[in-house]
Amino acid sequence: MFLRLGFGIFALVAFAGQAAAFEISSPSVSDGKWAEKYLGDKAGGCTGGSVSIALAWKDPPAGTKSYALTMFDPDANGGKGFWHWLAWNIPASAKGLPEGAGSKGGKGLPKGTVLGTGGIGRAGYFGPCPPPGRAHHYVFTLYALGEKTLRTPDNPSPEMVSVAAKSQALGDASVTYTYGR
């Protein structure tokens, strides 16, 4: 009896001591449903406004000093993918990004955040703009970093940002939303 009670208490303590999972989500979209304002604009041949979606995150790993964010479409360019949004040096105090933060030069981003150049050739968010016929997957990945600044060369390519973030991450959280037209 005491042995069984001891194992039960041990299991309860072990379960209670587990860290919560690092998570990212968006209150702006749901899978397959995006408002027109969040979609790609005329630069990509679409009619949206390229207003960046709001993002929220919780339970980052202990020791997080900054974040790096990527938005990637692995279905684009014949499976080679397309970078829609890159931002890094987001302060650890941030618990998310408001709608529009990555748009129009990143004026809504926290101070010190760097906005990277994506596949469209400009810095900032570029919304989903897949060719008609098949839905694409849009993967938002937030990397929790143990340093205040991401170590990258000057004017890094999206791939360099992604590799640097992965290699310097304490942990990461991802969410994928689909969109097709």
Res. 180: pLDDT tops 60: yes
Q: What percent of the chain has pLDDT over 90?
A: 82
Res. 6: pLDDT tops 50: no
Mean pLDDT of 137-154: 96
**Residue 143's domain spans which residues?**
20-179
**Does residue 5 fall inside a structural domain?**
no
Helix (H, G, I), strand (E, B) or coil at 117: strand
Report the pLDDT value the prediction gives residue 19, as an integer from 0 to 100: 62
Report the pLDDT value the prediction gives residue 89, as an integer from 0 to 100: 98
Q: Look at the chain and report how many structural domains it folds into.
A: 1
Report the pLDDT value the prediction gives residue 9, as an integer from 0 to 100: 45
Name every residue whose Cβ is closer than 8 Å to that of residue 69 and which is 6 or more positions away in sequence.
55, 85, 86, 87, 88, 90, 97, 140, 141, 142, 143
Distance CA 38, CA 36 (A): 5
Q: What residue type is 33 in one-letter code?
A: K
Distance CA 138, CA 177 (A): 5
- pLDDT tens track for 10-67: 444 444 445 689 999 999 998 889 999 999 999 989 999 999 999 999 999 999 999 9
**Does residue 35 fall inside a structural domain?**
yes
Please state, rounded to an integer, the average pLDDT across all residues of the chain: 90
Phi, psi angles (nearest 5°) of residue 34: -130, 135
Residue with tokens 């790609």: 40
Question: Which CATH number covers residue 29?
Answer: 3.90.280.10
Report the pLDDT value the prediction gives residue 3, as an integer from 0 to 100: 44
Handedness of CA 37, 42, 46, 52 (dihedral sign): negative
Res. 8: pLDDT tops 50: no
Report the pLDDT value the prediction gives residue 41, as an integer from 0 to 100: 95
Length, in residues, of the chain: 181
- pLDDT tens track for 68-121: 999 999 999 999 999 999 999 999 999 999 999 998 788 899 999 999 999 999
Pure H helices in the chain: 2-16, 76-79, 158-168
Report the pLDDT value the prediction gives residue 12, as an integer from 0 to 100: 41
Closest to 151 measured CA to CA, from 140, 166, 172, 171: 166
- What CA–CA distances, in Å, run from 9 to 16, 18, 19, 20, 95? 10, 14, 18, 20, 34
**Does residue 4 fall inside a structural domain?**
no
**Does residue 6 fall inside a structural domain?**
no
